[in-house]
Amino acid sequence: MQTTRLGRTGLQVSRLCLGTMNFGGFTEEKDSFTIMDRALDAGVQFFDTANAYGGSAGRGATETIIGNYLAQDDGARRRQIVLATKVYMPMSKSLNDGGLSARNIRMACEDSLRRLKTDHIDLYQMHHVDRNTPWEEIWQAMEQLVREGKVLYVGSSNFAGFHLAQANEIAKHRNFLGLVSEQSVYNLNQRTIELEVLPACREYGLGLIPWSPLGGGLLAGALQAANEGRRSKQFATARIEKHRAQLEAYEPLCAEIGNHPAEVGLAWVLHQEGVTAPIVGPRTMDQLESAIAATEIELSTETLEKLDEIFPGPGGSAPEAYAW
């Protein structure tokens, strides 16, 4: 497994990030342990989660599963893993639960550390921008956690380019490292971040961690699955019909180059400048093996051009994409 630096930091991470959102809600603890074992065996040592993940098992359940996994030995696994989690989503109906107030950042961090059974979080990410909390308050809280050794790096998720610039300019004036990564939706079919988020990441030295690199399964052979009767849910059928013309060009192209659509879609993301590690959230071992295989695929210039023709992006960076 190839590795790369996380943005402008000296921290090395694997080119794939193991997403754990399915742990608890869709994948039981025993199978989650097996997936994490296989990921580490393959060199995937970058794990991503969030305090709110857990699905039907309840918020916090995913962090608890990861904590139970880390507690199996004397810390050997924890030393291997670059562990990322998130704060923002409310965990209860309490008035001040949720958001990025100094109070919630502090309390949410302590709760995550307890569930994860660790003394520090390598990458603590803001799950969404909080327009009601000033950056001075957010950075004061994050700086305190860094001073205490409970957080090493701070990242963001679902931020606009303006938010990234605003956050890091204010951090600079506080002599604080600021954001080192951004986690955004990015795939062949959803390329909006190429306008401003990707350029901002490059300018400020943020590693990009794309989530949903296969568009929620759309780029993972959805058309073939629908033809075989394996995509019968109304929402999935509607998405397939909306993008049918593109999929009818995409899936045969994948067959032509001899790779599964899921592998090609993930490989395309890995080929994009500025991408650190796309998040793969396997429910099964087969899905993890497919993601690992994608890291070995080299897409030719011709194939990349054909993919751009099928799934055209916004036209480049802003404002050149839409104005002179």
Residue-wise pLDDT tens digits, 250-307: 999 999 999 999 999 999 999 999 999 999 988 888 889 999 999 999 999 999 999 9
Structure confidence by residue, pLDDT tens digits, 222-251: 887 766 655 556 557 888 889 899 999 999
pTM of the model: 0.93
Regarding beta strands 3-5 and 12-14, do their DSSP bridges make them parallel or antiparallel, or are they unpaired?
antiparallel
Q: State the pLDDT at residue 137.
A: 98
pLDDT at 312 over 70: yes
Active site residue 53: yes
Contact 146, 106 (CB under 8 A): no
Q: Which tokens belong to 50?
A: 């969030």
Q: State the pLDDT at residue 54.
A: 92
Q: Give the domain 3-217+260-299 fold.
A: TIM Barrel (3.20.20)
Three-state DSSP state, 39: helix
Q: Which tokens belong to 58?
A: 């309840």
Q: State the pLDDT at residue 90.
A: 93
pLDDT at 72 over 80: yes
Of 53-62, 140-149, 179-188, the range with the lowest mean pLDDT is 53-62
- Kindly name the residue from 53, 69, 124, 250 that is annotated as catalytic: 53
| 53-58 long-range contacts, CB within 8 A, separation 24+ | 53/20, 53/21, 53/23, 53/24, 53/25, 54/24, 54/25, 55/21, 55/22, 55/24, 55/25, 55/26, 56/24, 56/25, 57/24, 57/25, 58/24
Phi, psi of 255 (to 5 degrees): -65, -35
Alpha helices in the chain (DSSP H): 29-41, 61-70, 76-80, 102-116, 135-147, 161-173, 197-204, 222-227, 234-242, 244-257, 261-270, 285-294, 301-310
pLDDT at 2 over 80: yes
Q: Compute the distance between CA of residue 82 and CA of residue 48 in angstroms, rounded to an integer.
A: 9
Structure confidence by residue, pLDDT tens digits, 73-111: 888 899 999 999 999 999 999 999 999 999 999 999 999
Structure confidence by residue, pLDDT tens digits, 150-170: 999 999 999 999 999 999 999
Compute the mean pLDDT over every residue in the chain, rounded to the nearest whole number: 94
Mean pLDDT, residues 168-184: 98
- The total number of residues shown for the chain amounts to 324
